[in-house]
Copies of this chain bind each other. A is one copy, B any other.
Amino acid sequence: MTNLEPPKARRVYLLLRDRIASGEYRARSSLPSEPALAEQNGVSRVTVRRALDQLASEGLIERRPGAGTFVKGGQASLPMTGDISNVLAHLVEMGQTTEVKLLSFGYIVPPPAIVEALRLDPDERTQRSVRLRLIDGQPFSYLVTNVPERIGLSYSEADLASTPLLELLERSGLVAERASQTVGATLAGPDTAEPLGLEVGAALLSMTRVVYDPSGKGIEHLQALYRPDRYSFQLDLQRTGAGDARSWKPVDRPRKVAAPARSGRRAPARRPAMEKGSAE
């Protein structure tokens, strides 16, 4: 009756893209032939073709008439990684440049989810800002912050575009004492897809962070959405103790530890890396 599933060509495209990224089809080697792919996925060759067209237009594969379709190993621009236990630190550049675009700014009546998270009084308003963070001119995160109105008034709209929010808060004499972060995944909607330069329906890494002052009142609510191909979280752990007391402890990212595995069944990665964990 009603079919809300993605079109078949898209399915095949996603599948192949994933397999290429995960290294299942090795670079410089060939993919199965179009007829083979068609049969494997139960679709027609025309459909397979459309998926391949897309991959080719993104530069992921190379097609040689008569020969086959080949994975274009190469400069898969690697994602930055944020040290998840230190995501609150300022963003330190490593030759790369990050800039911030302020997409929207204003005072609103926050949705109930935010009221609850920040423990606001009913009808208390918040300053809501939407920012886009770019690296080398390429957007990689979409940030929606809510700050209680009285706090938000302590800095200007222009400040937001240049200074990390937490720093602004602390300058105002506020103390960020505790924070709670949750990491999940969502799909890009029309509103988030466009500024991030993605299609609607792309996968996004999401982080929600609530920062509290010593009294337990909420200071900041951040909803961050990341392009997983440009940003991911990393946490390095070290075993400590012995016997039953053995447990894992986060360690300050041992640099150059390994060719670290990438997330999301994606590309193998030599890591250019950033010296310190980055914020937002």
Contacts and interface: CB of A to CB of B under 8 A. Distances in A.
Given A111-B23, A201-B10, A233 B85 contact: no
A117 interface: yes
Given A81-B182, A182-B262, A184-B228, A6 B2 contact: no
A88 B239 CA distance: 10
Contact of A264 (B184, B191, B265): B184
A226 B258 CA distance: 25
A206 B265 contact: yes
A265 B223 contact: yes
A88 B248 contact: yes
Copies in the complex: 2
Interface stretch (A59-67, A93-101, A156-164, A171-179): A171-179
B113 A23 contact: yes
The winner among A54, A216, A267, A268 for most chain B CB atoms within 10 A is A268
Contacts of A218: 258
Contacts of A237: 85, 88, 178-181
Contacts of A117: 258-261, 268
A199 B5 contact: yes
B112 A187 contact: no
B111 A24 contact: yes
Contact of A23 (B88, B112, B180, B265): B112
A13 B23 contact: no
A79 interface: yes
Q: Which of A14, A262, A264 has the most CB of B within 10 A?
A: A264
Interface residues of A, number: 98
A225 B184 CA distance: 11
Interface stretch (A132-140, A147-155, A207-215): A207-215
A59 B35 CA distance: 41
A6 B264 contact: no
18 contacts: A22-B113, A84-B235, A85-B249, A178-B237, A179-B248, A180-B257, A180-B258, A182-B263, A184-B263, A185-B185, A185-B228, A186-B266, A187-B203, A208-B262, A208-B263, A223-B261, A223-B265, A250-B250
Given A23-B113, A79-B184, A117-B259, 18 more contacts: A4-B199, A6-B7, A6-B10, A22-B113, A85-B85, A86-B248, A113-B267, A117-B258, A178-B257, A179-B237, A180-B257, A182-B262, A184-B232, A201-B201, A206-B265, A208-B261, A210-B260, A223-B261
